[in-house]
Structure 1
Amino acid sequence: MPAIWSFDSPADAAPGLGAAAVSALLDCASAPPSAARLLGAVRAVVPVEYLSLVGFRRDTPELVEGSSRHTHERDVVAECFAIYRRSYWRSDALVRLADRVARRPAREVAVLHCRADELPVAGWRNEIYRRERLTDRFTLLHAPAPGAVQAIHLYRDERQGLFQPDEIQRLLGLAPLLRQAHQASLAAGAVAADRQAQVAQARDRLQRLGPALSPREAEVVARIACGLGAEGIAAELDVAPSTVVTLRKRAYAKLAEAGLPADRLRLARWLA
């Protein structure tokens, strides 16, 4: 039978982590959700071959993103999830656990460990686990918002072997911190999406009302109006900060010549 743990542990109850694990968790928490970053954080504690992020919409699992330790010619996570979603998810004990987590406080973390030979359907074992030589799955479930359940699946393959008892204990200790990092990344993703919507709105208004700025100049001015500095704009547009400064000077000159706002505060009011 699959092993299930359900607890509401504070993060400081986790065992001591190495510097690499702490750094990776901080990277996860400070940026929008990334399966690759989460995989890196887990691998700093326990070897894992694949990681998938899955959300539940009306109790139905949906793949958000997957990542692998190795580079493959095909997307193994997406292929396996498509088979799982088409034929086997209703047989997964995880679905019932997800429903329970959705009804519990948001701080709860539920964890399920299942070996391939414990899967209740032969087709599920053969089409996914045996085909990809997977040995077991370790899943962390949490609800960052009421009813919004997220799952972090960790998979081992035959090269790594089954999760051992000491590794499971390390993962159980990591679970509260991993949940916090994932929740923070979801919040960061929401902030980033909101900012991108604001930038798009400012850019559209600028194109309607402003002079003939170049596309790059308009991108810079829209971000200035939304409060970003040169370093942040450079990171988003993948250019050097000096390039942002040059584009800003050109755009400000065109705006001033047209009698329009040409500084950060007035641009924020004008393009809001």
Structure 2
Amino acid sequence: MPDVFRKRQPAAPPAALAAEAAGLAWLAAAGGVAVCPVLEVAEDHLLLERVAEVAPTAAAAEDFGRALARTHAAGAPRFGAGPPGAEAAWIAVLDLPLSDRALPWGAFYAELRLRPYLRAARDADALGAEDARALEEVCTRLVDGDVPGADVAPARLHGDLWSGNVLWSARGAVLIDPAAHGGHPETDLAMLALFGLPHLDRVLAAYAEAADLPPGWRRRVPLHQLHPLLVHTVLFGGGYAGQAVRAAREVLAW
């Protein structure tokens, strides 16, 4: 019997645990990065195999970059598609809108990843009117198709790929806590950079070699960080609002 971890999430809807399990299964099916095995799905908990963590190495980081490229390349039916069997999704305790429409990436990102959290941040007085206008202008440009790097096929994203959701085992990186959906591959990469990851330069270099990243992807990092920054603004306010606005103004300066 493997060592196990029982995960409860009292602040989230019960369906969020089933969606998490579906996301882990979908990511595992890609044959890329390993995910934490789910042993049991119940209404009030997930039973997961505990990951025995070790210190990450440069070699493990490079393996992770190549494996993440394979996960992304497994694709998704459309931008905003959820894992099979998941009718809704969450990021932390917030709703993560899914889509059954074939939207171009710019419209998907603006309408389903930025504007819902922009509205919530304004309603919570975490963003002032002038700052919100900068973010809204980014959304307008996205909908109009006036941003570079938008012409990509939907990738199979982890969706909440900050460093805390990457565990390092003796066999390499293991992913936990996804908000899995179809999206732009650079979004996962940008989130890895947002909160720091050991050997991130090795991860990105190996990913770029395996996936043949298009030119200018590093410049687009602030654009792809807008979603997690707005999520954190809604959840925590404070400095995250300022970071989101700075990222938006950097995008508008292109």
Above 0.5 in TM-score? no
- Relative contact order higher in (CA < 8 Å, ≥ 6 apart): 2
The structure number with the bigger radius of gyration is 1
| TM-score in terms of structure 1 length | 0.24
Higher strand share goes to which structure? 1
| TM-score in terms of structure 2 length | 0.25
